Amino acid sequence: MKKTILALAFIISAGSLLAQKKTTTSAIVSFDASTEKDALPKAENKTVIGSLDTQTGDVAFEAAVKNFSFSSPKMQEHFNGDNWFKSDTYPVFSFTGKIEKISKVKFTKDGTYSVSADGVMKIRDVSNKAKIEGTITVAGGKIKIASNFVVKLADYNITGMPIESGKVDKQPKVTVTAEF
């Protein structure tokens, strides 16, 4: 009987430890580099991997570059090509960071919390520090993360005629949504 109680206590403890880290394989990242000259540079990736540790605030997202879907096949070809994101050489975008003051988020109670994460954004061969603002919403036991920010393409050595001519925004808008 003592062994059964001990084993049950161990399983419950292990389960609560594992429950601290939440993951998803269906986060969504939208990319909008449209300008007045061209409305086509918009894409969405619905297969983004994300993780959130509710105790430490560690957060990470990784998106396969080739999984961004454009309405124009030519735009998709340019996006993945050598002048833009070189998806054959650099197949993923990533953000790894830590949510500040994670203890203020009550993961056991419904609510919406403004948060900020400090971390590193990696695009192509370049890693830059990034501070990302967003919200965490807890509703019915589900955790949702949402964020909107811009990426300066020049900070990641992404240049070219479409950008310089104003057909592609130099600072595309990025939207991230995830449910854990």
CATH number of the domain residue 107 falls in: 2.40.128.110
Q: What confidence tier does 92 reach under pLDDT thresholds 50, 70, 90?
A: very high
Record the pTM.
0.84
- Is residue 30, in this structure, part of any structural domain at all? yes
- Is residue 137, in this structure, part of any structural domain at all? yes
- Could you tell me if 133 and 139 are in contact, meaning their C-beta atoms sit under 8 angstroms apart? no
Closest CA to 61 of 102, 14, 19, 25: 25
For residue 180, the 8-state DSSP code is -
Count of structural domains, the chain: 1
Q: What confidence tier does 13 reach under pLDDT thresholds 50, 70, 90?
A: very low
- Is residue 36, in this structure, part of any structural domain at all? yes
**What counts of helices (H) and strands (E) characterise the chain?**
3, 9
Proportion of the chain above pLDDT 70, given as a percent: 89
DSSP-derived secondary structure for 61-93: EEEEGGG-EESSHHHHHHHHSTTTT-TTTS-EE
Q: What is the mean pLDDT of residues 37-44?
A: 90
Going by their DSSP bridges, the two strands 92-99 and 111-123 should be labelled as antiparallel
- Is residue 52, in this structure, part of any structural domain at all? yes
Q: What is the mean pLDDT of residues 44-63?
A: 97
Closest CA to 151 of 31, 16, 40: 31
- Is residue 101, in this structure, part of any structural domain at all? yes
Examine the pLDDT at 19 and tell me if it is beyond 90.
no
Q: What is the mean pLDDT of residues 156-162?
A: 88
- Is residue 2, in this structure, part of any structural domain at all? no
The winner for highest mean pLDDT among 14-18, 53-57, 68-72 is 53-57
Tokens of 16: 């609560």
- Is residue 59, in this structure, part of any structural domain at all? yes
Q: What is the mean pLDDT of residues 61-81?
A: 93
Alpha carbon separation from 119 to 76, 80, 95, 169 (Å, rounded): 28, 25, 7, 24
The mean pLDDT of the chain is 89
- Is residue 12, in this structure, part of any structural domain at all? no
Q: What range defines the domain where residue 164 resides?
A: 21-179
- Could you tell me if 61 and 97 are in contact, meaning their C-beta atoms sit under 8 angstroms apart? no
